[in-house]
Amino acid sequence: MENVSPSPVPKFGVAVFLLKDKTVLLGRRRSSIGHNTFALPGGHLEFGESFEECADREVEEATGLLIEKIKFLTVTNNVFYKEGKPVHAVIIFMLAAVSAHPQQLPQNIEPDKCDSWDWYDWNNLPQPLFGPLEKLVGAFDPFPSEKI
């Protein structure tokens, strides 16, 4: 059979700003894209999923946390290189809060993907941030003026 490689297509990612008071949940990535940078919980959109369902699933898979009040925030278009090959990712950023009951603490359920999950002060974020997140935070405040 002829060796035809499929044309690359953009992927869709969902990343979640999980907010608690003036802090946001971040973890240091172990994945090859953005290795050792701090990023939001998230992952790829699965076929047929809504953005809210993807946010809910990815946060629970990575941290065990149950979330609520999930809202669309913004979208960014990112083209970068992974091992010399271009990757095109459209990232849908969502906003959410940890469900109030029961008292929940983040667990590191995917230690191959992340060092640990911790709450960081929005005004004192850890460095370096994952590129697509860094691009966003300079120009953006995810905290709503009224409580979500």
Stretch that binds Mg ion, among 2-10, 35-43, 47-55, 88-96 (CB under 5 A): 35-43
Question: Radius of gyration over alpha carbons of the chain, in Å?
Answer: 16
Tokens of 11: 């992927």
Binding to ligand 8DG, residues 103-142 (CB under 6 A): 113, 130, 132-133
> What's the min distance (Å) between Cβ of 26 and Mg ion?
13
Q: Which of 93, 105, 92, 100 is nearest to 63 (CA)?
A: 105
Write each residue from 15 to 44 as x if it is in contact with ligand 8DG (CB under 6 A), else as -, in one continuous string.
Answer: x---------------x-x-----xxxxxx
Write the DSSP string, 52-82.
HHHHHHHHHHHH---EEEEEEEEEEEEEEEE
Q: For ligand 8DG, which is the closer residue by CB, 59 or 98?
A: 59
Does position 43 interact with Mg ion (CB under 5 A)? The reply is: yes
Closest residue to ligand 8DG: CB criterion: 13
Cα 114 versus chain centre, distance: 12
Contact partner, 109, from ligand 8DG, Mg ion, none, Cβ < 5-8 Å per class: none
- Bridge partner residues of 26 (DSSP): 118
> What's the min distance (Å) between Cβ of 1 and ligand 8DG?
28
Q: Which of 107, 142, 108 is nearest to 22 (CA)?
A: 142
> Cα(16)–Cα(73) distance, rounded to whole angstroms?
9
Contact partner, 59, from Mg ion, ligand 8DG, none, Cβ < 5-8 Å per class: none
Contact partner, 90, from ligand 8DG, Mg ion, none, Cβ < 5-8 Å per class: none
**Residues near Mg ion (CB under 5 A):** 43, 58
